[in-house]
Amino acid sequence: MRPFVVVVLLASACAPPSGPLAKGWTPREFLAKRAETKPLFGGWAPSELLVVEGQPIPYSTRTQGPGEGLPVFPGVSESRAIGFVITDIWQDHPQPWIQPVWMSSSRETPATRRPGVANVFPVGLDSTFYSPWWRTEFVPIDEGEELTNSKQVIDRGAGVDGPLVMCPFTSRDSIDVAAEAGGVRHPLTLKLLNGGVKAKGYVDGVLHQYLDFGPGRAQWHDQELDAFDLFVFTKAGAALPVATVWPADPARHGFLTRVEVPVPGGAAFFVPSNRADLKKGLEGLAPDVDAALDAFPEYALRLARNPTCFTMPTFPASCDWLDTQAKVKVLPGQKRTTVQLSAAVLSEVTP
Amino acid sequence: MRALLLVAVLPLAASAQDDAGAEVEEVVVEAPEDEANQGYSPDESQAQDPIRFTGYLDVGFAKATGNGSSFRSNDDRVPLDYGNDAFAPAVNSRGEVASTDSTGRFTNGFLPRSVGIGSTPSLLLNTLSADVRVQPRNVPVFLFARLQLMPRLLPTGDVTRVELQQAFGRLSPFKAHEFAVFLGRFDSVFGIEYLENEANLRLGITPSLTARYTTGHGLGAKAFYRLQVASLWSAFSVNVAGTTNGTRIEALVPVSTSLTGAVVGSARLGYELNLQKVQVKLGVSGLYGPRNDVRVGTARQLAIAGDLRVNAFGFSLAGEVLRLIDERGAGALKVTGTTQAELASGFQVMGGWARLGYTLPFTSPAFTGATLYVRYDRRHGQFEGFTELQTDRLTGGVRVDLFEVLALKAEVLLNRELAGAPLVDNDVFTSSAVFTW
């Protein structure tokens, strides 16, 4: 018996290498691991990806209101401050799949969604082939009719093609974009932002919760998403809690590859004097600045090639900001990761 | 094994087997041989010469409805093969289907092999199978190899295949005991349907909807032991295997190597009652081990099945029920016998089949047998996070044996999508002429 056991153990020990295993994290995993502060999820810590009621909202001095929230991260695109939420992260993962989502329409206007009727999705979070990206197919139905599963839809025949939409499943109704009472705000500028629309859709006859960020949030072709770079500044290999650098037209480029960029020597981040909380994790990289610069919150956590510009009267124009991809992508020491993410840039609420 | 199959299921058709007659007589008069012993493997006790060559040729003709696949044109779900049963429109005893053409839509390795005819009626050379059996005199060792040729043409071009389907050595160390050890690539030990893997032995033409899980060949070692209890007209048997892959067909799980370095165990416990006019056989099978379609050993496969066969007065009833679970592949890429796919999903299935046959009670030197049969299959399969597919199939057919070397078979398959799977036109008419030498 013993020799047999030894043989079996040896055989197991000699198992061929499996290579990196694909991993994926959704708001469900964000919630489950929310107490974890290590950067487990593709370089992001679960604790910064979701907050629960009463907890501080990252990059903000405020606390989360009722329910759980996906925090608004600061970013910059073509020198413009943006706020975005991360909804899904993948590491060493195949290209996320684009599944159909069936939206009911009327027979009179077959390419227009019929309001008040739940969408039908073919899969939910439990599927290894889930992603928050869905290709709309309008299905004309009669008044009062309701479709609840994919078989019903497919059995009806072909529908009408629609746009790609971003609808991350949240696993529970209480998850939304992070917000204190009163609304979603950019954590630095405090401007009011439009969050996603909370909704429910059918998967195999059962209603599931999701956030609807609407159409046009990623580029795609031939059933595949086009990934664009998201530059994340690092120091000594660790990501810094600063503004990430997005491609142009960020609201339409929500599928991204994480590219890590070491902070160039001599560069520093701008942190207003009234936001000392933002200096945590930026020791030595965020010099003290005059309180007069507190009037420029949209520049907070932005990287300047030479921080002496922070003392010049022409601030912020005096700075050579590393806040466009054209400038950042030529910085040395970049590391392209195998991490991809889906993120939604939130538009400002227009008065 | 072969003899019992013929006695139990096809007593008249048995005469079509070139070397089966003596085995039949031996089985009936002495002790029935349990086909669970070795699947379609020869009995060296019947060997005439140290080396013998046998085989068969299976020529088919098939016509499928719809587009020959189980895929609707308006189904854009991903992967396409998770939401439909691609195995339904089978056309031959290998379980190959009329088409698996997904028209460019993504599939993820849950596909049978295809003969690529779509809905076009076509003759097919299903299998040319050549066996070699080596029985050195006066030693308890037996060698067997089966090489098969399958000419195929798909839209992508010629995909003719040669497969070393079985190659094993068998050691029977005790003359006084029915005990044998096998090493190499051999038939499954799980359930009973693998006994009909070969076209010349299968009563009908196509395998059941659950055959994909139970009828694969394994690479490894197995042992068989049977205890006869003459006073009870009974026998008890155990068949145990340790293989690289388990019991799934090679289109789904690679056979030739172990991806995990660990062993997949499978076994069947059998009981048989052998009366003068009635035979009853029961079996329970189990399987446990790592999935061999991913390169991580942490994802497990588990299966259990029960089988029953009753033969009496020209009627034969056989059936099998199966429950199988695959754990999620832990983020590893999926490797099948035909391709490398993407992620290996969790999966579970419950299913089974039952077949009733009746053999006409008359023969002649030319007309050596005829059997009518009907089979009902049902399968509830679900990939993790996908809709459960509930499908069934009704199969009816006839087999006529001539001159002990030719079996003519015709069969109709009526596939239905009961729940989960979209309605699709994928019924099949198929026929087969099997020449055995």
Question: Would you call B333 and A151 a contact, using CB atoms and an 8 Å cutoff?
Answer: no
Closest CB to B386 among A14, A21, A127 = A127
**Which tens digit of pLDDT belongs to each residue from B355-376?**
999 999 999 999 999 999 999 9
Please judge whether A122 and B423 are an interchain contact, meaning their C-beta atoms are less than 8 angstroms apart: no
Nearest CA in chain A to B108: A129
Residue A9 has pLDDT above 80, yes or no: no
CB distance B269 to B283 below 8 Å: yes
In this prediction, residue B45 carries a pLDDT of: 52
| Domain assignment present for A153 | yes
Please tell me the total count of domains within chain A. Answer: 1
The pLDDT > 70 percentage for chain B reads 89
- Record: contact B74-A159, CB cut-off 8 A: yes
Position B48 scores a pLDDT of 60
> In chain B, which residues have their Cβ closer than 8 Å to the Cβ of A155?
422-423
pLDDT digits (tens, 9 = 90+) for B168-190: 999 999 989 999 999 999 999 99
The contact set of B with A (CB < 8 A) is 72-79, 82-83, 106, 108, 258-263, 294-297, 328-333, 342-346, 383-388, 417, 419-423
Q: Nearest residue on chain B to A18, judged by CA atoms?
A: B295
Is the pLDDT confidence value at B6 over 50? no
Query: How much is the average pLDDT of B44-62?
Result: 84
Q: Is the separation of the CB atoms in B383 and B345 below 8 Å?
A: yes
Per CB-CB distance under 8 Å, the chain B contacts of A125 are 385
Of A22, A126, A137, the CB nearest to B331: A22
Q: Can you give the pLDDT at residue B24?
A: 29
> Which residues in chain B are closer than 8 Å to A41, comparing Cβ atoms?
none
Instruction: List the single residue in B with minimal CA-CA distance to A159.
Output: B74
B262/A129 Cβ within 8 A: no
B346, B387, B423 ranked by CB distance to A204: nearest: B387
> Any CB–CB contact under 8 A between A221 and chain B?
no
CA dist B81 to B56, B97, B112, B386, B389, Å? 33, 13, 10, 11, 11
Query: Among B408, B416, B412, which Cα is nearest to B433's?
Result: B408
DSSP H helical ranges for chain A:
2-13, 27-32, 46-49, 150-155, 325-328
Q: What integer is the mean pLDDT of B153-166?
A: 94
**Cβ <8 Å between A129 and B333:** no
Q: What percent of chain B has a predicted confidence (pLDDT) above 90?
A: 85
Return the percentage of chain A with pLDDT > 90, whole number.
Answer: 89
Report the mean per-residue pLDDT for chain A.
93
Task: Give the best residue of A28, A125, A151 to mutate against chain B (max B CB count within 10 A).
Answer: A151
What pLDDT shows up at residue A58?
A: 94
Cβ neighbours of B83 in A, within 8 Å: 122, 150
A125 contacts B385? CB cut-off 8 A: yes
pLDDT of residue B38: 44
Judged by CB atoms closer than 8 Å, whether chains meet at A18 and B332 is answered as: yes
**Considering only CA atoms, which of A235, A237, A256 is closest in space to residue A247?**
A256
> Is residue B8 scored above 60 in pLDDT?
no
> What pLDDT was estimated at residue B297?
85
Rounded to an integer, what distance in angstroms lies between the CA atom of residue B124 and that of residue B150? 9
Closest-CA residue of chain A to B259: A16
Contact A16 B331 (CB under 8 A): no
Return the pLDDT at B43: 54
pLDDT at B46: 52
For residue B387, pLDDT over 50 is answered with yes
| Residue B262 to residue B257: CA distance in whole angstroms | 11
Token reading at B9: 């299921």
Which chain A residue lies closest to B75 (C-alpha atoms)? A154
Could you tell me the pLDDT band of residue B18, with boundaries at 50, 70 and 90?
Answer: very low
Q: Is residue A269 part of a domain?
A: no
Put simply, the answer to whether B75 touches A11 (Cβ < 8 Å) is no
**Residue from the list A13, A22, A126 with its beta carbon closest to the beta carbon of B343:** A22
Q: Report the residue of chain A nearest B347, measured CA to CA.
A: A127
**Count of pairs with CB atoms under 8 A, one residue in A, one in B:** 115
Contact B74 A92 (CB under 8 A): no
140-179 of A, contacting B, C-beta below 8 A: 149-151, 154-155, 157-159
d(C-alpha A346, C-alpha A196), whole Å: 8
**Average pLDDT of the residues of chain B:** 90
Q: Quick check: B3 pLDDT over 60? A: no
Q: What's the first-to-final CA gap in chain A, in angstroms?
A: 79
Residue B394, helix vs strand vs coil:
strand
Calculate the CA B238 to chain-centre distance.
19
- Predicted confidence at residue B35, as pLDDT, reads 41
Tell me which residue in B262, B344, B385 faces A127 most closely, judged by beta carbons.
B385
- Domain presence at residue A271: no
How does pLDDT run across B257-316, given as a tens digit for each residue?
A: 999 999 999 999 999 999 999 999 999 999 999 999 999 889 999 999 999 999 999 999
- Dump pLDDT digits (tens) for A215-229: 999 999 988 999 999
Q: What class does CATH assign to B2-436?
A: mainly beta
A13 contacts in B (CB within 8 Å)?
A: 261
Distance (Å) of CA B61 to CA A289, B67, B122, B399? 85, 17, 6, 15
CB contact under 8 A, B330 and A124: no
* pLDDT > 70: percent of chain A: 95
Does A4 touch chain B if contact means CB atoms closer than 8 Å? no
* Token duo for residue B16: 């079509």
Least confident of A175-189, B14-28, B88-102: B14-28
- Residue extents of the structural domains in chain B: 2-436
Residues in chain B: 437
Which pair of structure tokens corresponds to residue A148?
């609840």
A248 within domain boundaries:
no
CA distance B296 to chain A (A): 6
Burial A173-189 (b: 16+ CB within 10 A, else e): eebbbbbbeeebbbbbb
Look at residue B11 and tell me whether its pLDDT is greater than 50: no
Whether residue B343 and residue A135 make contact (CB cut-off 8 A), yes or no, is no
Using the Cβ of A99 and the Cβ atoms of chain B, whether some distance falls under 8 Å is answered with: yes
* pLDDT per position as a tens digit, A53-97: 999 999 999 999 999 999 999 999 999 999 999 999 999 999 899
- CA B121 from centre of chain: 25
Neighbouring CB atoms inside 10 A of A239's CB total 17
Give me the mean pLDDT over the B132-143 stretch.
94
Residue A107 domain-assigned?
yes
Q: How confident is the model at residue A18 (pLDDT cuts 50, 70, 90)?
A: low
Contact across the interface for B328 and A15, Cβ inside 8 Å: no
pLDDT of A351: 67
Q: What integer pLDDT is reported at residue B330 of this predicted model?
A: 86
Contact list, A148 vs chain B (CB under 8 Å): none
The answer to whether A127 faces chain B, any CB pair under 8 Å, is yes
With bands split at pLDDT 50, 70 and 90, how would you rate the model's confidence at B137? Answer: confident
Task: Give this complex's ipTM.
Answer: 0.88
Per residue in A220-258, pLDDT (tens digit) is 998 899 999 999 999 999 999 999 999 999 999 999 999
Using the predicted structure, report yes or no on whether residue B37 has a pLDDT greater than 80. no
Distance from CA of B384 to the nearest CA of A (A): 5
Segment A126-136, tens digit of pLDDT? 999 999 999 99
Distance CA A296, CA A326 (A): 23
For residues B395-415, one letter each, b for 16 or more C-beta atoms within 10 angstroms of the residue's C-beta and e for the rest, the string is bebebbbbebbbbebbbebeb
Interface test with B, best of A6, A29, A128 (most B CBs within 10 A): A128
